[in-house]
Every structure is written in structure tokens, then in C-alpha cells.
């Protein structure tokens, strides 16, 4: 299974319904004006989430979706951080099929006419999730001290507390923390598949992670060797200077 996390994010000043949110830009998924063009290798919607200080609902629209009607979604994560537990629309077991190269657009409705950063996250996938057995899965802790750019993806090099033995590993779960962190995803290196799988972030160690995001619940996110660990990209609402996380790993070679 392959999946990829992409974001729409902008400062929205109006309370009117269906204000379009521009795509953030992406190194893998092509863009078109304010939207993304659906990639033929990951043409399905796996999960959708919205976050904003006064966000009340959000919407996706594309030619495939409009065969019915633009897709209104609720609940959002209302606030400046992801709620605990995270609010999302879950389609992991029955992803919604989009058409390759059609434009996917995002819209939001806020509850007041106050300028506020609003973000919609979409997870693209190539098919239903294929969980893996938790037999053999282990977890490693990492830290970083990179100054993040607020409301943009920032690449971060992870420093593992302890080295891992020589071999090939699959990421099968993740938990990532910073003070204003919202989303994180992994950037493969060494010629691996191009997609950047990821999920929500936490702002405190007692925040509740989604069960399926850990210990093989979403299957294999990506593979890497001990000499080519991935980078992690972080999207935060503030210029955080300290990041850390936990990787669930499974040795596959």
C-alpha cells in the first residue's frame, strides 16, 4: 500500500460558506491553480481532516465528487492545534475513487469574520489499507532542534536515541510532537517510492493518538535502510524550535 499526505492552507478572513483554500504546494502531487491534480498512482481519498481556530465545516470538490454533490465534512479540529483525539473523516477501509488528473479543491466555512489560518489535509492512497501483524514491531525515539517555518512544510533530520542494526526497515506507525505541530510526513531517500506518508501531530505527550496510526494499523508506510533514513517534514502553526517523535519499525530485510 502507498499513501501520501497533502495540505491546503491559507489565512481565511471571511465567515461566508465555501471559501476556497489554496493548496500548499507539493513536491510529489502536481498542482493546478488552487487545487491538486489527482495522481494516477494514488488516486483515492483515504482520510480527510480540517483544522482552524474558528473552523465549523469544510468541503472537497472535484468532477468525480460532483457526480453527487460537493462533499461537506464535519467534525473539524476547532482550535489552533489538533484535538485529542484527532477529528477526521475515515475512509481507510473503503477509499473514495477519484479520476486521474482531475482537480481536487478544498473549501471551508468559519464561524466568524476574523482572519485565521485554516488547513485541510487530504490523504491519497492506492487502495484499502492492509494492516500488518504487530509481531516484531519495535519503537524508537528521535529528537531534533530545527526552527520550523510557520504554516509551511519544514524538513527535519531525525536523530535517533539509539542506532538500529544493519538492514531494511518499514515504518509502520508514527507519533510526532512539537508545541504548535499539526501534521508530519516522511520523505524517502535512496531511490525509494516518491510518496510522503504521514499523519497528525501531538502537542503534549498525553494527547491521544489514533490507534490505526500505530503498530501496523495502516500497513507499511515506506521502507528504508539503516544508512538512508528518511527526513521528516513538519507542518506547524508556529516557529517551533524543538521536535521529537516515536517511530514504529519492522525489519523486513
pLDDT of 133 reads 87
Domain locations in the chain? 3-125, 138-251
- Stretch 95-114: mean pLDDT, rounded? 95
pLDDT of 113 reads 84
Which residues, at least 6 apart from 74, have a Cβ–Cβ distance to it below 8 Å? 56, 57, 58
The per-residue pLDDT for range 73-104, each reduced to its tens digit, is: 999 999 999 999 999 999 999 999 999 999 99
Q: Which CATH number does 3-125 carry?
A: 2.60.120
Whether residue 215 is predicted with pLDDT greater than 70 in this model: the reply is: yes
Stated pTM of the model: 0.96
- Stretch 38-52: mean pLDDT, rounded? 97
- CA 121 to CA 114: how far, in whole Å? 21
**Percent of all residues in the chain with a pLDDT value above 70, rounded to a whole number:** 99
pLDDT of 192 reads 63
pLDDT of 134 reads 81
- Stretch 29-47: mean pLDDT, rounded? 97
* Dihedral sign for Cα atoms in the order 165, 192, 218, 86: positive
Whether residue 226 is predicted with pLDDT greater than 80 in this model: the reply is: yes
Same fold, 3-125 and 138-251: yes
User: What class, spelled out in words, does domain 138-251 have in CATH?
Assistant: mainly beta
Residue closest to 182 by CA, chosen among 1, 9, 2: 9
- CA 31 to CA 50: how far, in whole Å? 19
The per-residue pLDDT for range 124-161, each reduced to its tens digit, is: 999 999 999 888 999 999 999 999 999 999 999 999 99
Whether residue 1 is predicted with pLDDT greater than 90 in this model: the reply is: no
- CA 129 to CA 54: how far, in whole Å? 32
Q: What phi and psi values does residue 182 have, to the nearest 5 degrees?
A: -120, -45
Whether residue 191 is predicted with pLDDT greater than 80 in this model: the reply is: no
Task: Pick the more confident residue, 193 or 24.
Answer: 24
- Stretch 196-202: mean pLDDT, rounded? 97
Amino acid at each position: 500500500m502507498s499513501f501520501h499526505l497533502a495540505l491546503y492552507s491559507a489565512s481565511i478572513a471571511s465567515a461566508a460558506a465555501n471559501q476556497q483554500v489554496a493548496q500548499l504546494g507539493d513536491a510529489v502531487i502536481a498542482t493546478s491553480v488552487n487545487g491538486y491534480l489527482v495522481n494516477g498512482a494514488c488516486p483515492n481519498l483515504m482520510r480527510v481532516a480540517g483544522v482552524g481556530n474558528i473552523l465549523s465545516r469544510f468541503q472537497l470538490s472535484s468532477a468525480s465528487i460532483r457526480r453527487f454533490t460537493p462533499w461537506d465534512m464535519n467534525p473539524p479540529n476547532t482550535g489552533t492545534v489538533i484535538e485529542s483525539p484527532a477529528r477526521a473523516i475515515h475512509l481507510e477501509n473503503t477509499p473514495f475513487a477519484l479520476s486521474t488528473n482531475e482537480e481536487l479543491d478544498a473549501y471551508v466555512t468559519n464561524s466568524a469574520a476574523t482572519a485565521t489560518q485554516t488547513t485541510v489535509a487530504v490523504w491519497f492512497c492506492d487502495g484499502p489499507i492492509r494492516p500488518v501483524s504487530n509481531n516484531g514491531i519495535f519503537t524508537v525515539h528521535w529528537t531534533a532542534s530545527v526552527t520550523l517555518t510557520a504554516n509551511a512544510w519544514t524538513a527535519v533530520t531525525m536523530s535517533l536515541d539509539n542506532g538500529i542494526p544493519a538492514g531494511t526497515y518499514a515504518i509502520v506507525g508514527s507519533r510526532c510532537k512539537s508545541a504548535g505541530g499539526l501534521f508530519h510526513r516522511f520523505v524517502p531517500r535512496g531511490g525509494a517510492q516518491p510518496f510522503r506518508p504521514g499523519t497528525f501531530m501531538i502537542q503534549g505527550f498525553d494527547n491521544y493518538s489514533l490507534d490505526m496510526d500505530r503498530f501496523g494499523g495502516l500497513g507499511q508506510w515506506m521502507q528504508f535502510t539503516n544508512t538512508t533514513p528518511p527526513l521528516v517534514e513538519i507542518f506547524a502553526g508556529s516557529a517551533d524550535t524543538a521536535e521529537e517523535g516515536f517511530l514504529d519499525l519492522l525489519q523486513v530485510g
